[in-house]
A and B are shown apart, each in its own frame.
Chain A
Amino acid sequence: MTTPARDREQTLVEAFVRLADTLVTDYDVIDLFHGLCADCVTLLDADAAGLLLTDQRGSLQLVSASNEQAHLVELFQLQADQGPCLDAFRTGHQVRADDLATEDRWPRFTSRARESGFAAVHALPMRLRGEVVGALNLFHRQHHVMDEADLGVGQALADVATIAILTDRSSRQRELLTEQLQAALTSRVIIEQAKGVLAERGRIGLDEAFARMRSYARGHQVRLADVARDVVEGDIDTAALFG
């Protein structure tokens, strides 16, 4: 699906206007990340996108993905050990793997990615001054070379994600990046726990559980992170999510 240049430019402008609007309000970092991942898919013709953050213990963790299917989540997680995201994180440079069929840098990651039907993958570092705090990961089902313009858009989206962590209002100590990263990761842990609670209560799959939470959050104009916390702490009647 290629969009005519002017349409694309329009979409791009709209996306960044929306992101700027969000950044000056009392936003939730996890909600903003989900919007960003969806933007990556639309703007860059990607089939899936995810954001990984450093856990400050030398590893990377998934905080947000354009969809939460198990095979995709696993592909993000695998990169704690090897993969384009880990390389982007360690080097601070963009990592391109246009064609996984001929890729030999990350055997384990590549074979799982191909099994899941992906043909190309890109990773863009989330940089902050001298530090790299994570990476944006883009997957394509077809062999795909991202041109400089696309990489520029992707990098701009990754930079917005970095700024979002820094200016998160719930963060009381803005100077402490470590603390801000930890808070984003904790939000993610609560979402995973809530997925488990709903999967058990509703006898549904984990990706379905996530979809229910997200649609509830949208329908009720509440934050995804708050819905997740209420599910885990029993402060919400989970039947409302299965309605």
Chain B
Amino acid sequence: MDQVRLSQALAAAVASNDPDAPLAVCRACVAWLPVTGASLTVMAGPDRQEPVCATDDVSARIDELQFSLGDGPCVESFSTGRAVLVADIADPGERRWPVFAAAAADTGARGMYVFPLNVGASRIGVLDCYRDTPGTLDQQELTGALRAADAAVWTLLDTMAPHAATHGAPEVDVVDGSSLARAEVHQATGMLIAQGDLTAAAALARLRAAAFATGRTITDIADDVLARRLRLHLDGSLRANGYQDDETMDDPAHPRSRGEEDPP
């Protein structure tokens, strides 16, 4: 596999702000990872899943089968929020999903690799990859698949909070998805959850939309939210002001010294 080409394809998909971006992420998986097909499914309700896109009919069929049977790696990943990797769904020794395994045989799928799309506490969906030969993914391929799952998160968030006027997402956000590794992005997400009574996914979508609209990085926007320079307004945008009692509050980005919180 080619990590660089995969990352470029994912970055292009995430930066495109295009309704087809989720499909572009799936296509990047098929092009640069050893998988035959890929699909995305989102959580449309507590017990309701909705297909978003698939690279081929078999992929779409695999998802549909699992959700109608209520069994399979995809369903498991949905309910647990954890990755599920299956070397060979047709292996008689594979007994985790008896109902689905029988049906899967007809689709020609062998290896199945499902990755949850989590935004902390929010499960927004799964990235489901299959291939028509048995086998596992090696470390490099897994890394690539995890990057694809990160990219899928961003493209799906975009459908939740579409960007009107855009400067485009700054390169640093889209190339490696590293902004999902920054604590302040998640802390700011938490503040927006409280400000707008939002889910974690919707709150992160607001951060990204604000980054898109201003051409700044999502980490910069998160810093402003944490320092209470930006807050969520009723129309869903992030704007300055809204805090009347600034003087009386701690600035969480620059907290006053409190000493160690816990004696050992």
Contact = CB atoms under 8 A, between A and B. Distances in A.
Interface in A67-124: 67-70, 73, 77, 80
A178 to B, nearest CB: 5
Given A59-B178, A179-B83, A190-B121, A196 B261 contact: no
Interface residues of A, number: 53
B174 to A, nearest CB: 14
Interface residues of B, number: 50
B35 interface: no
Contact of A197 (B81, B193, B248): B193
Contacts of A205: 250-252, 255-256, 258
Question: Which secondary structure characterizes the binding site on chain A?
Answer: helix
B121 A55 contact: no
A193 B194 CA distance: 10
Interface in A203-235: 203-211, 214, 228-229, 232-234
Interface stretch (B51-59, B125-133, B139-147): B139-147
A38 B252 CA distance: 24
B200 A68 contact: no
A57 interface: yes
A188 to B, nearest CB: 8
B243 to A, nearest CB: 9
Given A182-B82, A186-B120, A193-B121, A67 B190 contact: no
B252 A206 contact: yes
Nearest to A205: B255
Contacts of B189: 192-193, 196
Contact of B255 (A80, A190, A203, A208): A208
Contacts of A56: 139, 142-143, 146
A232 B82 contact: no
B260 A200 contact: no
Given A176-B85, A193-B187, A204-B250, A57 B255 contact: no
A201 interface: yes
A208 B85 contact: no
Contacts of A233: 121
B261 A77 contact: no
B68 interface: no
A132 interface: no
Nearest to A39: B264
Given A68-B261, A229-B121, A192 B186 contact: yes
A77 B182 CA distance: 8
A201 B194 contact: yes
B191 A172 contact: no
A10 to B, nearest CB: 15
Interface in A178-200: 178-179, 182-183, 186, 189-190, 192-200
A164 interface: no
Interface in A49-70: 55-59, 61-62, 67-70
Contact of B190 (A41, A178, A194): A194
A148 B190 CA distance: 43
Interface in A20-70: 38, 41-42, 55-59, 61-62, 67-70
12 contacts: A57-B143, A57-B177, A62-B183, A69-B255, A69-B258, A193-B120, A193-B121, A195-B190, A200-B193, A211-B261, A228-B121, A232-B193
